[in-house]
Chains A and B, each alone.
Chain A
Amino acid sequence: MNFLYTLFQDGGAAIISSTTAAFALAAIGLNVHFGYTGLVNIGQAGFMLLGAYGFAIVVEQGGGILLGVLAGLAAAAVFALILGIPTLRLRGDYLAIVTIAAAEIIRIVGGDQSLAPLTGGVAGIPNAKYSDQFIALSPFPKAGLFTFGPWTYPYSAGNSWWLSLVGWALALLAALVVFLLFRSPWGRAIKGIREDEDAVRSLGKNVFAYKMQSLVLGGVIGALGGIVFVLGASVQPDALGRTTTFLLYTVLLLGGAATVLGPILGSFLYFIFVVWLQDVVAQFVPSTVMNSSQIPQFTYILVGAGLMLLVIFRPQGILGNKKELSFGA
């Protein structure tokens, strides 16, 4: 009974967490790229990182929070343009190669010691240097803890109720934008491009412009996810690397690509699954077999295996349309 309560508590915490919201946002962006447009972006973490750096650096250097957010989003948009101009005219595989390489460039440059005055080098930028203004915006008490059921978090500071609220509000807003866009003729053209871009071109649509719009939109939503992520943590280049991108694909495919709520549901389920798995292993596997530091690594191995099983046996995810997918080939 006690164990079930632990599961309940940890599961709830995973849902509330601003990290879950940040991943949901980034996955919504990735969904615009991969799910709707068919752009294979393997560098979504790079967009997140750019958003985070743009925001944190501008705020730290004395710009306001609004300017910081705009800087983060603009950095992602420019990044998308730079990646898109040479590659979007080529076959899809090339975008995949370029995005993974470019995301690595961002991560490595971010960790470079010579830029340490700006980026903090490998150590990154600590949360306290850029989160004051965000905390100041909170309508809740600035200090103290709030308890809701079994969950206790600060009102406003750090990994707070305020941040979770903002994170999830942004995720819902992004989902709403995606919903509005993809029921429109614009979304129809984008889906057509996913199916066969030459056919869409032959109907007089500017395919390159559509793909670029999609790349920028998804990248900007990803950057927003990056900003939410670092408000609950610190800016660290290695925290948003290749692994993050693959986790985002897991989240997206779990919930269902090309669905509006798939990334949000996927993010819920993914984080609940990971924490429950750790709970179960900690509960039932003796520490002589696996010690506590090995448990997270073990669960990530299972997540990798889970991703494989998912794409083999349920490629449409939970919310996806099996029929739509079966004609996709």
Chain B
Amino acid sequence: MPETTDWSSETYDFDRAALRAKLRDVPQEPGSAKPQPILTVDNVVRRFGGMTAVEVEHLEVQRGAITALIGPNGAGKTTFFNLITGFDRPSSAKSRFGGGQGPFATWRFQGESLGATSAFRVARTGMVRTFQLTKALSAMTVMDNMLLGAKDQPGEHMLAALARPLWRKREAEIREKATDLLARFKLDTKAKDYAGSLSGGQRKLLEMARALMSDPAMIMLDEPMAGVNPALTQSLLGHIQDLRDQGTSVLFVEHDMHMVRHISDWVVVMAEGRIVAEGPPEHVMQHQAVVDAYLGSHHDQDLGDDSVLDEDFAAAVADEDAERAEEKA
């Protein structure tokens, strides 16, 4: 992708229909090129001993889209998340001392290379993540949690911290912003409570709101619905769509496919560490590779049956599954 891409908000696809129209022309195959990739990942490999947990050759994430990263348990989704946010280091990363064999892991976010960047620097480039097991800072108030998410607070430097006038003005600004965000996530009445006193779902909301304090260009949600009761799920989904509509690209991990259908514009399917399929949510579930990944390639078939030879059979099963799922929903 050229360096000259315009990342200003004018070029952001606020109109969702237009965005989806653009994505309709994108080939539905693993590693396909997107019209405006905010994140481009190449050759990210992570091995644990002899086991290869993640092996992603190429992935582009469209700016302004809600991209879902799905896959069965153990597909490497969270590991992949950790790798690109700097919480883990790819086995294919270029060695600090030179040497090693390529291809080396590289990834670019908004044109900025993130190959060997520590987690906090990744966050500063505008790619902020949340965690599968919520990390609310329990012994701090909800408000303090929020204020911690802000950037450009001079008072976070040790020496400036001693002199209040140096940071008081900025503190008032971010406090106001935090109050607004808390109101948006309906946590404003809890501002003075300890984060540890919130329910699981409220903590998810707090974590999301906190991540938004720094106005990230992309927010990465690791299983935002895990452990959230069904009533709150609906409002969480609403919040995620609002984020997109207000100018934040979203990449989220989820292993429940049905949740994904409602809100995502594009779905990336991982299985056994690799990306096996990509496409719009309506179509991607019918990919042979996806069905194989979720159900095993010979699910409910008699292996002696002639129909194993029939290529259309698996697709037919997938269709049936999808219909059944829709009826349920």
Contact = CB atoms under 8 A, between A and B. Distances in A.
Interface of A: 177, 180-181, 184-189, 191-192, 194-196, 198-207, 213, 217, 323-328
Contacts of A198: 87, 119, 131, 135
A200 B211 CA distance: 10
Contacts of A200: 137, 148
A207 B162 contact: no
A202 B119 contact: yes
Nearest to A258: B139
Nearest to B151: A204
Given A180-B162, A199-B136, A201-B87, 6 more contacts: A188-B156, A189-B156, A195-B137, A199-B131, A199-B207, A205-B120
A198 B130 CA distance: 10
A185 B167 contact: yes
Nearest to B197: A327
Given A189-B148, A203-B148, A323 B194 contact: yes
Nearest to A321: B139
B155 A186 contact: yes
Contact of A204 (B87, B157, B207, B214): B214
Given A189-B148, A327-B139, A184 B162 contact: yes
A189 B155 CA distance: 10
A203 B148 CA distance: 8
B156 A186 contact: yes
Contacts of A199: 131, 135-137, 207
B155 A203 contact: no
Contacts of A180: 161-162, 164
B266 to A, nearest CB: 24
B156 A205 contact: yes
B139 A328 contact: yes
Contacts of A181: 158, 161-162
A327 B196 contact: yes
Contacts of A204: 120-121, 123-124, 128, 151, 214
Contacts of B158: 181, 186, 213, 217
B188 interface: no
B138 A195 contact: yes
B161 A203 contact: no
B210 A203 contact: yes
B288 interface: no
17 contacts: A180-B162, A181-B158, A184-B155, A184-B164, A185-B161, A188-B144, A191-B139, A196-B135, A201-B119, A202-B85, A203-B123, A203-B148, A203-B213, A204-B120, A204-B128, A206-B118, A217-B158
Nearest to A189: B156
B149 to A, nearest CB: 5
